Chain A
Amino acid sequence: MTLARKATGPRLLTANRLDDGLVVFLAPDGQWHPDAARAAIARNDAQAAALEADGADAVRANLVVGPYLVEITEDDGSIVPVEHRERRRLAGPSVSTSASTAKALAA
């Protein structure tokens, strides 16, 4: 995954978990969590490089697939990726099948 420009702001490391494919984020304790709020945030290039090194280790340990850095802004404590695609990936699907089906059944 390459960003269109070099990221300079705060960044976190994301990947998909190998066994179930779910989106995960690297936390300060070295664990991978589905919740981005628990992610370790790199505030400079050196910290970002350290996250990437941890990500490469996690790939070698068969924990995750395709780790990459996501540039974010912190809005009132909540994490908002800069790139549109990453905002959508972090948020999960914006549509719900069960909801639409329930609506259809009620109609």
Chain B
Amino acid sequence: MYRYDEFDAAFVRERVDQFREQVGRRLDGSLTEEEFRPLRLMNGLYLQLHAYMLRVAIPYGTLSSRQMRQLAGIADDFDKGYGHFTTRQNIQFNWPKLVDVPAILDRLAEVEMHAIQTSGNCIRNVTADHWAGVAADEIEDPRPYAELLRQWSSLHPEFSFLPRKFKIAVTGAPKDRAAVAYHDIGLRIVRNEKGETGFEVLVGGGMGRTPMIAVTVRNWVTKADLLPYLDAIMRVYNLHGRRDNNYKARVKILVHELGAEEFRRQVDAEFAQIDRSEIGVPPAELERIATYFAPPSYENADASDLDYHRALKTDASFAAWAERSVAPHRVDGHAIVNISLKPVGGIPGDATSAQMRAVADIAERWSKDEIRVSHEQNLVLPQVRKRDLFAVWQALTSAGLATPNIGLVSDIISCPGLDYCSLATARSIPIAQKISNRLGDARRQKEIGDIKIKISGCINACGHHHAGHIGILGLEKRGEEYYQITLGGSGDEKASIGEIIGPGFSSETVTDAVETIVDTYIGLRKDGENFLDAYRRVGAAPFKEAVYAAH
């Protein structure tokens, strides 16, 4: 993991001290709310529907056990004993008191964490593939570059007041688990004919009221040119982004309005002017960063996973969990363990402090102290020996964290919605819970197979509904919540935007509609065809027919 240097640590401490003084001045009235609001937002503190909310950055979703324990302590001492992992690999605390926030930030600083740039029109927390560094299909670990981008974008004076917020995601694998095409900038590590690795750069993706898939502006950018090239993109955006209209201020609108060709031309013109030696990072510095992400020492695999295979045969519950939760690791004898934060009928992404501590203990003992947060609101233990999988499963089971539903119908992404969020138009968590309860029976889930349901409680789409195989958008009409359904969205390497199937559904009927869609799929699928493939083959018509005939 990356460790702060003295400069980082001193800076974060200074920032906490500044914020402590700002809170003091707010409480004694020296600062009005109007004056204080931008200051608190720069430190991740929102005022939500029922209370303040603190959004803590988890750079590229990577946590140590010590950090996870600190989050648990904050949940216990300053909140209601739980936290909410978000679709941006962050964690949110829903009930902090303003007066306590400086103390919370102190605790975060103790473990090299903060809440800077988790709000505002700046470059937000850089996200990455949650299997980075261990995925079997990976070309190269994206985390050193994500860290480089974090350092470059933190308090960058030129990019601190952009037209609108800006999100960057990085993947080092051809299988896109980071939804890079739905980001303002998406980076894919690719290999050229000479066997060198560099970046494919995508720009202009996004969710919200105007969903767009990013376009590739460059097939190949060298590592040395990564920062200068991104600088050029940011400069074009900063200059031409629509500051006059909040709804048109994201870079996706600029790319769309200029057209990809013209946008590329302007970026290239800017890039040609940039002093690359000044902005680019020397190879030695990149190597220094990369050493923090060097693989741990792995034991020889030999025959040590015999116990694992024996347990798979003898324990059906373990086998069912392993089938969904365990993914291939790049090193023999090891596995990636995905921890579901989606108990059937539960709140997607929530974890109690006890669960956070359990994960910290398990990671320390069996995953080389590494934890990841996925944008699908689950956790990952990236470094588990196969021979330890059974013990890990037992420990997760004791903590209520062994729901065997990763990638299944109850593994639903949901934003906080109108249960917490002041921007929401409808509740989303209760809809996730109803669908999960309705379809969450183990045999039923297995029958349905791989499917992604994603729910947002407003058009801002924090619940990624545009990228859901089944997307649900909560709206309000004449005082009642209603839900629009989209089909065929995807956030992977073949990204697509879901299409609205027709009139919306009430909170009472939306679960029926989802079940009808699922049953229609089961009725028409070919052998081994998952929901998305079936939808892409047959289109929306059979689903519309089934849903609107039945309602």
Given the complex, which residues of B lie within 8 Å of A22, measured CB to CB? 50-51
A104, B50: Cβ atoms closer than 8 Å:
no
Judge if B476 is at the interface, Cβ distance under 8 Å.
yes
Smallest distance from the beta carbon of A103 to chain B beta carbons, Å?
6
Q: Are B352 and A101 in contact (CB under 8 A)?
A: yes
Whether the Cβ atoms of A103 and B51 lie closer than 8 Å is: no
A95 sits at the interface (CB 8 A) = yes
Are A100 and B347 in contact, CB atoms less than 8 angstroms apart? yes
Inter-chain CA distance A25–B407, complex, in Å, is 44
Total number of A residues with any Cβ neighbor in B under 8 Å: 31
Contact B430 A95 (CB under 8 A): yes
B423-462 CB mask vs A (1 if < 8 Å, else 0) is 0010101100100000000000000000000000000000
Which residues of chain A are near B346, meaning CB under 8 Å?
100-101, 103-104
Task: Give the residue of A19, A23, A101 whose beta carbon is less than 8 angstroms from that of B99.
Answer: A19
The answer to whether B433 and A21 touch across the interface, beta carbons within 8 angstroms, is no
Contact A83-B479, Cβ < 8 Å, known A19-B27, A92-B50, A94-B427: yes
Asked if A107 is at the interface (CB within 8 A of a chain B CB), the reply is yes
List chain B residues, Cβ under 8 A from A89.
49-50
CB contact under 8 A between A23 and B50, given known A95-B347, A101-B346, A104-B403: yes
How distant is the Cα of A62 from the Cα of B47 in the complex, in angstroms? 15
Whether A93 touches B352, Cβ cut-off 8 Å, given contacts A65-B33, A98-B81, A101-B346, is no
- B419 & A101 in contact (Cβ 8 Å cutoff): no
Pick from B28, B97, B400: contact of A105, CB below 8 A.
B400
Return chain A residues, CB-CB under 8 Å to B343: 100-101, 103-104, 107
Q: Once bound together, how far apart are the Cα atoms of A95 and B479, in whole Å?
A: 20
| B350 touching A18, Cβ below 8 Å | no
Decide if A95 touches B480 in the complex (CB within 8 Å).
no
> Chain B contacts of A85 at CB under 8 A?
418, 425, 476
* Cβ-defined contact, B400 with A101, below 8 A: yes
Q: How far is the CA of A20 from the CA of B53 in the complex (A)?
A: 11
Residues of B with C-beta under 8 A to A20: 51-52, 97-99
* B355 contacts the other chain (CB 8 A): yes
B49 / chain A contacts, CB cutoff of 8 Å:
23, 88-89
A7 within 8 Å of B (CB atoms): no
Contact B52 A101 (CB under 8 A): no
Chain B residue numbers with a CB within 8 Å of A23 are 49-51
Contacts of A59 in B (CB 8 A): 33
- Return 13 A-B CB contacts under 8 Å, by A number: A21-B47, A21-B50, A22-B50, A85-B418, A88-B49, A88-B419, A95-B429, A95-B433, A100-B433, A101-B350, A101-B400, A104-B343, A104-B403
The 10 closest A-B pairs by CB, nearest first: A104-B343, A100-B346, A21-B52, A20-B97, A105-B400, A21-B51, A104-B400, A93-B419, A62-B29, A97-B82
